[in-house]
Amino acid sequence: MHASRYQPFDTSGAFLYGGRWHSRWTRVVYAAEHASLAVLETLIHAGGRKIPSRLLTQIEIPDSVPMETAAWMEPSASQAFGDAWVEQARSAVLRVPSVAVNRLESNFVLNPAHPAFSLIKTLDSAEFVFDPRFYPAAIR
């Protein structure tokens, strides 16, 4: 899920701001396993602010793309793990547990510097408008 002014695989936000699985100045792309998880993750990171419509882009990760799965770890450890994963180019995709749903579903961290990243394709994009019931009446 991304703002329409950005491309689906834009790394500028991740580069400027650290995330759960990477530190600042590291280029990665975050994706969610399901559309509903992408919505939930976006709402969580908005901190209660109203979110303008976004683009929800489906991606295809072929079976031939190397993927690694990370176990649950605390944020400082997960950032160090993710930074090492990017630097070592161990795989193009890192499957990570989502805190938003008690680690029952996964997010994916994509490494654009990995040679197999070029095999990951964007498919359909559609506008996603956040239901006003997500927001308290004071900010509707």
| Local confidence pLDDT in tens for the 140 residues of the chain | 666 667 889 999 899 998 999 999 999 999 999 999 999 999 988 888 899 999 999 999 999 999 999 999 999 899 999 999 999 999 999 999 998 888 889 999 999 999 999 999 999 999 999 998 888 776 65
**27 inside domain:** yes
**64 inside domain:** yes
* Interatomic CA distance for residues 105 and 24, integer angstroms: 25
**57 inside domain:** yes
**65 inside domain:** yes
- Condensed to tens digits (0 to 9), the pLDDT of residues 98-117 reads 988 888 899 999 999 999 99
Q: Quick one: 105 exposed, middle or buried, by C-beta within 10 A (0-12, 13-18, 19+)?
A: middle
**138 inside domain:** no
Which residue, 48, 37, 54, is CA-closest to 99?
Answer: 37
**91 inside domain:** yes
- This prediction has a pTM of 0.89
**21 inside domain:** yes
Give the residue numbers spanning the domain of 40. 12-105+121-133
Biggest CA-to-CA distance, the chain: 49
